[in-house]
Every structure is written in structure tokens, then in C-alpha cells.
Structure 1
């Protein structure tokens, strides 16, 4: 009798394991949202074969494709490295580098100890200085839940944290006309205050047209003289890309000046060759702007700096409006 029960139990466990594996295999890597104007594809944060599986970008609200009348606005090629490469409106907390903060608790942790990467989870520190391209070992990936409708999605991520640092992260995607909005919430659930910097990478590419003649990046205020604009021509409030970029470039718009963050909340990217444009707006003052560009994509990145004491919550929103029939960076006839 005992042997029979053991066999039955073993078979039951095997059946459950097979069912779980089949469920994972059948989970779609992307979900399609549409409101009749926009067709949007969003990565499923829990699919085994999701577009990005690395530890740099968050799987939350990872919009990969947006199309209007069948014409694409974002770069997210099928052929890519899912560990190191992403696309679309991929988001990240704490890029690091000389201008930005390192991930929460990274500085305080010794090599070999754990640190918190908001949006990803708890990672193991293996370098003295944070490097966004390093694939730090996962100690505990944050748990992400997603609810889907035909026109939107809601994400909730929890991370128990490490060294008294912890958080809850939420995001809500909504479609309204030709505008996609992502509203974020971040709560400090740990025992220590922290600062963090959030941005979306914004891999923009219009209908496959290489970045070059016809592409322009327009701001609402004149560009400072002390910026780094390699690969672009500065004219007032606009950066023009007059030739196809032979290699990737990194441009810097210095907006750290006290009290000027509000002037940089909005920007517009336009391609007069394809007559498409994207207008981006933020509800938070911008702490800094970086522009990563190559022939394959144009990525204007607006950073927001968030400071939270234990128990505090921050909310902010980014909106992306997708236009067609665009005549110039400042004149839209959509």
C-alpha cells in the first residue's frame, strides 16, 4: 500500500511539473494592445523567452513596438542578444556612470555582498564600481505580476531587498488616441532612505529609416553652449542629424542647473523622410538628458531623480504621442 502511495505521489508531482512547464512554454513573450489608432506590443515580464532577460533593464512596462497604420516607430529587432540588448521603451533605474547615481546600496556593499537594483531585484556585487554592462549574478529576482486588457496593462513588482533597502514598483500602461502613457509608482518599503534615477532608453526608429538626413531632435528651450553634440548640428532648440552616423555617439545636454529641470520635460523627435514624429513629455522635472544615437536608432533619454524616505511613495508619468504626416520638428499636421 505504501509503495502504491509513493508511486501515486511521484506520478502526481511529475504531472504537476509537466503542467507547469507547459504553462510557461505557452506564455506569450509579447502581448498586443490596441485602441484602433495605436498597435502596441509589450513584453511579458515572466515569459521564459521574453525579449530581454538580463539584469540591466527592468521587465516592467517594457514596450517593444508601436505602430500607426502599420508603420513602426520603435527599434526592437527580432535578431538580438536577449541578455545584453533591449529595444523600444526599455526602462532602467540607476544607470551609473560619472553623471548618475549607482544602484541602491551598491556603494555600501562590499564585493561579494548583495545590492538592490530597482526594477530587477537583488544582485551580487562583483566589481568595485558599478558597470551597467556587467551581468551581475542574481541573488533574488524581484517578483513581477502583470494584468492585461486589450488596451492596457498593470504591473506590480515587489522586492524584499537587502541591507535594509527594499521597494515596491508599479506601472500602468494606457492608450488614448495616438498617445501612450506609462504611470509609475515607487515605494520605499525598506528601513533606509534612498535616491534613485529613472529613465526610459527610447529606442526610436521611424519605419526602418536609418538615423541621418531628415532626423531631428527638438527641445522646448535653447540648447546650452557647453553641451556635447558630436554627430549632430545644433541650431537653437534643435539637433539635426545631417548624415547617417558611421558609429554610435553619445551626446550630453547639461541641464543640471538648479531650477531648470521643468524646461526640459518635453522633447520631439521627427523624421521628415518618413513624415513621422514622437512627442515625449514627463510630469517630473528632468535632472539630466543624454542622447545615444547610431544609424539603427535615436535614443533621447530624460532622467528623473527620486528621493524617498522609508514608507514614502513617488508617482510620475511619461507620455509618448505618435504622429504621422509631420512636416518639421515644430510643425505637426497629424
Structure 2
């Protein structure tokens, strides 16, 4: 586990070489923010299995990000036959029975800086070559996550990226302020009124929840203000207009997931960032969280 800290916050980041994320990781192993601790309010983030101290690595916790090698519907993006490129993770192999395994991993260089951690990999496989940089930076009460992907090969790279932050519920519920012009179709899980997203009911357990999509105003960056049991708020924002925006929650957490659809021509570079602004302590402590890494 790697750590960043200042007078307000401590950030736990998984070591991409020793993260315990065996099998085929769902999330990028570099810059995987596992937990953020407030100096007085305690741990601030959740996960689908909270408070399980060793959650399934597929579910994770904290503020993970992912580079998809297939769409949510299962269509291949960075696959050639039975081999796939998982950007930031390694090379995948699909067996005759449909099982996917990770056959080789990316090698990550970790460059610790003052209140920052920089992760760098250059990977060549399946006719592609790319450089991926992941930067996590602590600024007072804010946490910045930056990704930079450069196509250094001779063929285009097409993939999807998404963030999957796991926010904490307050008495089993979430409230989120969203940009003007946001809309949400009628559904059984969430309601949107006057740009405020709420739950229609408390979910009962890990498997009870709801998945849906927000329609955000065109060409505008995402800005969301989320409730928190131990802070007055958490502000979450993107440096880009999301191509899609998913919302999901269960009895333990809520997530708002901005997506990017990326196609990089040879020589092209794309950079984007997320920002989390952690508000003032409300004077209460968060419910007990576990900040351990997942078990191997």
C-alpha cells in the first residue's frame, strides 16, 4: 500500500505490483485509490461489500478507474481473436470454454513525489504500443486523479474508460446535486427533482440495488455534490463532458460513473482528470471502514 498525506487527509493507494488483484482485474491497478481518511472524521469512502475487510477484487472499494477492453454489452474493443489487450493491466486470453485469463501483466514504474504519486507504463502487445501515465495528487482537501494515454504504435487504439467512485451512504441513502439540464428516465431506484438525485427506497443488501443512466447536458463537464455522513459534502467533477454517465447503488454504497469513448490515432495523446473536493467535517465520525488491501 502506498500513502499520500497532509494535515487534512491521508490517501491509501494500492501498489500496482502488489495489489492482490489476482485473476482478471476489473480496474486499472495503477492509481487505484483504496481509501481516503479525514484527520478527524475517519475513512470517507465505501464499496459494494462494505464493511467486508477483504472484498472481491472485482467489486473493489474507494475510487477506482477502468479501461474497458469490451463494451458493457460485451462487444470487443481491444481484442484480436482470442487475445485481448487490457490497457494498464496486460494481455488477456479467452479459452474455448469462454473463460478469460490474464496471461501477462504490465510493468509499472512508481515515482513518489511530494503529496503526489506518479505511475508510468509503456506496453507493447497485439500490434499496439502505448504509454499510460496515472497521477494521484493531494491538494489541501482535494484529490486529483489524472490519466494520460499516448498511442505510440502504428494502428489506432479504440477503448472505453470509466470511473467508478464508491461514495458513502447516510443512513442508507444518498443525495446528489447534479448540473442544470440533467434528466433521468422513470425507474424504480432513483428520483431526480430540481437537479437533486435521491433514492426512492433503501436497498436491503449487496445484491439489492439499481443501475441506470443519467442524461447530462451536452458538452458540459460533470459536476456533482454528494451527501456524506461525516462531511458537509463531497464535490466530484470531471475535466471533460462524459460520453455516458451511469448511476448505481446498493445497500452499502452509491456510484456515479462518467464514461469516455476513446479512439487514438498513431501519435495521438489524450489526457483527462477527476477532482474530489472533500468538505468540512460535520463533527461526527464515519461508520467503521476497513482500509486493508484485498486478499491475494
Given the two structures, how large is their TM-score scaled by the length of structure 2? 0.83
Query: For residue 236 of structure 1, what is the aligned residue in structure 2?
Result: 194
Query: For residue 26 of structure 1, what is the aligned residue in structure 2?
Result: none
State whether structure 2 residue 121 is matched by structure 1 residue 157: yes
Asked if 2 retains the 8 angstrom alpha-carbon contact of 1:114 and 1:123, the reply is yes
**Runs of 5+ in structure 2 lacking a partner?**
283-296
Query: For residue 15 of structure 1, what is the aligned residue in structure 2?
Result: none
Query: For residue 293 of structure 2, what is the aligned residue in structure 1?
Result: none
Query: For residue 155 of structure 2, what is the aligned residue in structure 1?
Result: 192
Asked if 1 retains the 8 angstrom alpha-carbon contact of 2:221 and 2:240, the reply is no
Pick one of 57, 62, 65 that aligns with 1:91. Answer: 65
Structure 2 CA distance for partners of 1:275 and 1:58, relative to 1, 3 Å: closer
Q: Alignment RMSD, CA only?
A: 2.4
Query: For residue 88 of structure 2, what is the aligned residue in structure 1?
Result: 119
Query: For residue 217 of structure 1, what is the aligned residue in structure 2?
Result: 176
Instruction: Give me the whole-angstrom Cα distance separating, in 2, the residues matched to 1:264 and 1:142.
Output: 31
Query: For residue 71 of structure 1, what is the aligned residue in structure 2?
Result: 42
How many residue pairs match? The answer is 273
Pick one of 240, 252, 272 that aligns with 2:213. Answer: 252
Asked if 2 retains the 8 angstrom alpha-carbon contact of 1:58 and 1:119, the reply is yes
Query: For residue 6 of structure 2, what is the aligned residue in structure 1?
Result: 35
Instruction: Give me the whole-angstrom Cα distance separating, in 2, the residues matched to 1:299 and 1:79.
Output: 19
Deviation of 1:33 after TM superposition, in Å, equals: 1.0
Pick one of 165, 169, 181 that aligns with 1:202. Answer: 165
Pick one of 293, 298, 305 that aligns with 2:254. Answer: 298
Structure 2 CA distance for partners of 1:54 and 1:180, relative to 1, 3 Å: farther
Structure 2 CA distance for partners of 1:198 and 1:210, relative to 1, 3 Å: farther
In the TM superposition, what whole-angstrom CA distance separates every residue of 1:242-277 from its partner, at most 9, and x where no partner exists? Answer: 53212121021134xxxx443342112113x54442
Asked if 2 retains the 8 angstrom alpha-carbon contact of 1:193 and 1:309, the reply is yes
Instruction: Give me the whole-angstrom Cα distance separating, in 2, the residues matched to 1:135 and 1:265.
Output: 36
Q: Which has the higher helix share?
A: 1
Structure 2 CA distance for partners of 1:52 and 1:263, relative to 1, 3 Å: same
Instruction: Give me the whole-angstrom Cα distance separating, in 2, the residues matched to 1:71 and 1:284.
Output: 31
In the TM superposition, what whole-angstrom CA distance separates every residue of 1:255-310 from its partner, at most 9, and x where no partner exists? Answer: 4xxxx443342112113x54442211111221010011011110110112222101
Query: For residue 287 of structure 2, what is the aligned residue in structure 1?
Result: none
Structure 2 CA distance for partners of 1:103 and 1:278, relative to 1, 3 Å: farther
Pick one of 260, 265, 270 that aligns with 1:309. Answer: 265
Structure 2 CA distance for partners of 1:38 and 1:262, relative to 1, 3 Å: farther
Query: For residue 140 of structure 2, what is the aligned residue in structure 1?
Result: 177
State whether structure 2 residue 250 is matched by structure 1 residue 288: no
Asked if 1 retains the 8 angstrom alpha-carbon contact of 2:183 and 2:192, the reply is no
Runs of 4+ that moved beyond 3 A: 100-103, 273-276
Instruction: Give me the whole-angstrom Cα distance separating, in 2, the residues matched to 1:140 and 1:65.
Output: 27
Instruction: Give me the whole-angstrom Cα distance separating, in 2, the residues matched to 1:229 and 1:173.
Output: 36
Query: For residue 21 of structure 1, what is the aligned residue in structure 2?
Result: none
Asked if 1 retains the 8 angstrom alpha-carbon contact of 2:46 and 2:253, the reply is yes
- Larger RCO, structures 1/2 (Cα 8 Å, 6+ apart): 2
Instruction: Give me the whole-angstrom Cα distance separating, in 2, the residues matched to 1:88 and 1:193.
Output: 32
Instruction: Give me the whole-angstrom Cα distance separating, in 2, the residues matched to 1:127 and 1:52.
Output: 24
Structure 2 CA distance for partners of 1:243 and 1:136, relative to 1, 3 Å: same
